[in-house]
DNA sequence: TTAATTTGTTAGTCTAGGCTAACTTATTTA
DNA sequence: TAAATAAGTTAGCCTAGACTAACAAATTAA
């Protein structure tokens, strides 16, 4: 648990995200590989190593799971990532779509004091610029099961709670059409033939694709 | 010039520091190796690569020099390092001796915007917590030739201008005896048999070793 | 000016973390 | 339930950047 490489950390974080946010029952080697954009062979290698170090458990040909140790590492990374995003956004004039890439680098800086002091400096923010919860220094991680915009039905009304931060073009699109955190959204119509969704918010009516709606997380109001 | 690895950056920065701050006329393979705590063979390898990429020039068995490109990389790293040290010290409650290690990691984060915005956020500081000049965004680097405390003679009076930040125990010692930036120091006596130096500052009289005095940089007053 | 010492170079090895190609085991589906 | 497909594994190779051991060139000293 002392010193993991950047790659080892990346694998653990990715597995954690897939397990908690993906909604899938089984995460295997290939899903992890695809998520990280590496080959299944590379993943196999790394998983083997992380199993030997007791961060991952799995049976041969079976599904992957994290040990408590593994979860701890992943949550720390997510805490760091989101704190840095918040810092970049609130203090350094970074925009929504710029923060992720730099935070991906900053989350690997090894210094417990750095992240805790950054937290204090910003007065313990609860959510990052994309609406995601920031785990606290004890690793308490509030897993709110994600409800995607795409899972609602016609007539539902919801609030935009968070967005997936991993794609720059997606984030640009979100701000371009005028959606912002806490926007109230009404599902006007779901078109059956291509699953595209017509939504209304702030006197705007837009039609978005299923893929878009998959990356928008909401809180249902009615 | 696009994307260097962390190691490549480390070598370039180290060479730059040796060339500008070391006061030596010739920097060779072995000095660079020793400075970086790697073997001469590793250094040879890396130097070969950096020559191929046009960051370093040297003849076989000859002294090492940086190209303009190489200098630019090194100065940017120094700028980043010192800005981060300043941030850690002024905003995140880091102490003198804690900043260096974390800044060594932070200086490798790749984002031009990050460092320039950090600079703006802190209102363009001119010096870091150890008294060293911070190069500006254009890479203008004010090379003030360093005068070490050990180079003075009895009776000289000087001001503490900067200290070498690379050793934690050294920095602890500096603050422990009460020396601070801008302290006025008088050379009371230089003991010949071991080159130890007796200094007076702020009504304190202390004897320090030659090695200590080598790491203290001063501005001569009289 | 030759010998000793220092400095630089080369060759070969190691680890981390990628890759492709080939193969094996599970799972689907006809 | 057998064949097709998907998922997981293994073997072997590559690059970066370390290392040691052996050797060559320069420099210093006798």
- CB distance from A205 to chain B under 8 Å? no
Query: Average pLDDT in the A30-47 region?
Result: 97
Q: Positive or negative, the Cα torsion across A155, A145, A11, A7?
A: positive
Q: Domain B6-66 carries which CATH code?
A: 1.10.10.10
Query: Average pLDDT in the A72-84 region?
Result: 97
- CB distance from B92 to chain A under 8 Å? yes
Report chain D positions within 7 A of protein CB atoms. Answer: 7-12, 16-22, 25-26
Percent of chain A with pLDDT over 90: 68
The answer to whether some atom of strand D lies closer than 7 Å to the beta carbon of B49 is yes
Enumerate residues 6+ apart whose C-beta is below 8 A from B35: B14, B17, B18
Do the Cβ atoms of B105 and A109 come within 8 Å? yes
Q: Does domain A147-220 sit in CATH 2.30.30.90?
A: yes
Distance, in angstroms, between A117 CA and closest chain B CA? 5
Highest mean pLDDT among A16-25, A109-118, B24-33, B123-132: A109-118
Per-residue confidence band for A1, with pLDDT thresholds at 50, 70 and 90: low
Do the Cβ atoms of B105 and A106 come within 8 Å? no
Report the C-alpha gap between A76 and B148 in whole angstroms: 43
Report pLDDT digits (tens) over B18-74.
Answer: 998 777 778 999 999 999 999 999 999 999 999 999 999 999 899 999 999 999 999
- What are the sequence ranges of the domains in chain B? 6-66, 76-140, 147-220
Report the C-alpha gap between A113 and A177 in whole angstroms: 39
Distance, in angstroms, between A106 CA and closest chain B CA? 7
Percent of chain B with pLDDT over 70: 98
Per-residue confidence band for B1, with pLDDT thresholds at 50, 70 and 90: low
Dihedral pair phi/psi, residue B190, rounded to 5°: -115, 115
Report pLDDT digits (tens) over B63-121.
Answer: 999 999 999 999 999 999 999 999 999 999 999 889 999 999 999 999 999 999 999 99
- CB distance from B158 to chain A under 8 Å? no
Residue B182: the pLDDT is: 78
Tell whether the model's pLDDT for residue A182 goes beyond 90. Answer: no
Q: How far is the CA of B34 from the C1' of D27 (A)?
A: 20
For A156: left if phi > 0, alpha if psi spans -120 to 50, otherwise beta; the answer is beta
Mean pLDDT of chain A: 92
Would the CATH topology of B76-140 be identical to that of B147-220?
no
Least confident of A4-8, A21-25, B58-62: A21-25
Give the closest nucleotide to B11 (alpha carbon vs C1').
D17
What is the dihedral angle through the alpha carbons of B9, B12, B13, B17, rounded to the nearest 10 degrees?
170
CATH class of the domain whose range is A76-140: mainly alpha
């Amino acid at each position: 648990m002392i010193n993991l490489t950047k790659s080892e950390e990346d694998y653990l974080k990715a597995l954690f995200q897939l397990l908690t946010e993906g909604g899938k029952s089984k995460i295997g080697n290939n899903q992890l590989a695809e998520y990280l954009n590496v080959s299944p062979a590379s993943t196999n290698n790394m998983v083997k190593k992380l199993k030997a170090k007791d961060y991952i458990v799995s049976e041969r040909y079976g599904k992957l799971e994290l040990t408590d140790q593994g979860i701890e590492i992943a949550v720390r990374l997510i805490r760091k990532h989101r704190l840095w995003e918040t810092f970049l956004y609130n203090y350094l004039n970074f925009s929504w779509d710029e923060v992720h890439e730099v935070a991906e680098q900053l989350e690997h800086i090894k210094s417990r004091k750095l992240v805790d002091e950054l937290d204090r400096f910003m007065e313990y923010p609860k959510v990052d610029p994309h609406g995601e919860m920031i785990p606290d220094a004890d690793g308490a991680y509030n897993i709110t099961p994600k409800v995607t915009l795409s899972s609602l039905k016609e007539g539902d009304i919801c609030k935009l709670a968070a967005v997936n931060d991993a794609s720059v073009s997606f984030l640009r699109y979100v701000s371009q059409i005028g959606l912002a955190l806490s926007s109230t959204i009404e599902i006007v119509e779901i078109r059956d033939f291509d699953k595209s969704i017509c939504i209304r918010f702030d006197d705007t009516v837009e039609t978005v694709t299923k893929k878009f709606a998959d990356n928008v997380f909401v809180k249902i109001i009615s």
